[in-house]
Amino acid sequence: MPPMTDLKSLLPEELETFFGAMGESAYRARQVFQWIHEKDVSDFAQMTNLPLPLREKLSRTSLVTAATVERKLVSARDGTVKFLFGFADGEKVESVLMQYKHGNTVCISTQAGCRMGCAFCASTVNGLKRNLEPSEMLEQVQAAQRHTGRTVSNIVLMGIGEPLDNYENVIKFLKLVNHKDGMNIGLRHISLSTCGLVDRIDRLAAEGLPVTLSVSLHAPNDEIRRQIMPIANRYTVDELLDCCRRYEKRTGRRTSFEYALIRGLNDSPACAHELGSRLCGSLCHVNLIPVNEVKGKIYKRSEKVAVELFTKALESYRMTVTVRRSLGGDINASCGQLRAEHS
């Protein structure tokens, strides 16, 4: 029996090809695309403007990916909602819906697990199980809306997994979620986080997709970065920063540098000044994140005074610096923790 075709992962032109092979008109593809992406319908029986024989045939030959909610946690402090979603093969991923003044942001996963091996991250604990399909990324966005009644206006690809390690599927997801006949979420409202795959960042810059690049830097030099991020053995800090400048020049988009502050490792004023001297003059923003303490990991978050001194030192280089506001702290909203509990 041939495998079922996942229609949620198909772009409109691919749907037209699919329906054409069935002897159906192109407008059927447009109808189904709108049912799936704009109306969030996954049951063919509910696609009532399709003839009944076609709906029955689609049920035999294709599917529309839908996730089950394995767990849903709601923060009593700030309304943050954390989901553990399950897919048909039993793999589970996390998504977090956060409320800001400018709208609702959903943080989604791009892989089930991760093979990047960052020493302080819960997502890498059991390694990489598999890549997520475009439909499974999109389903996290739709399901977050479906189960909260909140409209998502911003997306961050900063959950479990390294987005650029699942390059083709991530690019397809971006095109699907941005499509005018679907969710129509602007690419400038989407941030993609990477640990620094230089070759893939260059490739992304050439795609013409104006997403915000968010780079997990976490150290001002190679010596410290190699202690906590295996990718630093492939690319130096200088190579990574040069790549980010190429991205900025080609896209006109500001790079956001994520910097997890780890007590006694990378949070000294000397580290701040070294970082400031490296980034000075770049079109960038630095987001400081007191590291989330993960069970089984040795790293501790920086003391409040250390965060303040680090911030002040960086600001002396006339760059935009923020300290990430902790959301969902009462529900372990940082990525990987909930999945690890259920693996």
Q: Do both 41 and 109 map to the same domain?
A: no
Residues spanned by the domain of 120: 68-341
Q: Does one domain contain both 99 and 24?
A: no
Looking at the structure, tell me whether residues 240 and 266 fall in a common domain.
yes
3-state helix, strand, coil in the chain (%, to 5): 40, 20, 40
| Average pLDDT value over all residues in the chain | 94
In the predicted model, is pLDDT for residue 51 greater than 70? yes
What's the rounded mean pLDDT across residues 106-135? 95
Question: Is the same domain home to 300 and 188?
Answer: yes
Q: Are residues 34 and 19 in the same domain?
A: yes
* Mean predicted confidence (pLDDT) in 60-73: 97
**pLDDT at 243 > cutoff 80:** yes
Active-site entry in 114, 195, 284, 335:
335
Domain end among 18, 46, 63: 63
Q: What is the pLDDT of residue 329?
A: 61
- List, for residues 173-210, the tens digit of each pLDDT value: 999 999 999 999 999 999 999 999 999 999 999 999 99
Catalytic residue among 16, 24, 94, 274: 94
Read off the pLDDT of residues 144-178 as tens digits, 9 standing for 90 and up. 999 999 999 999 999 999 999 999 999 999 999 99
Q: What is the pLDDT of residues 82-100, one digit of tens each?
A: 999 999 999 999 999 999 9
The answer to whether residue 114 is catalytic is no
Answer yes or no: 335 catalytic: yes
CA-CA distances (angstroms) from residue 229 to 18, 189, 194, 216?
A: 43, 28, 12, 10
Whether residues 39 and 149 share a domain: the answer is: no
C-beta neighbour count of 57 within 10 angstroms: 15
To the question of pTM greater than 0.75 for the whole model, the response is yes
Angle between helices 269-279 and 237-251 (to 10 degrees): 40
**Domain containing 199 — which CATH number?**
3.20.20.70
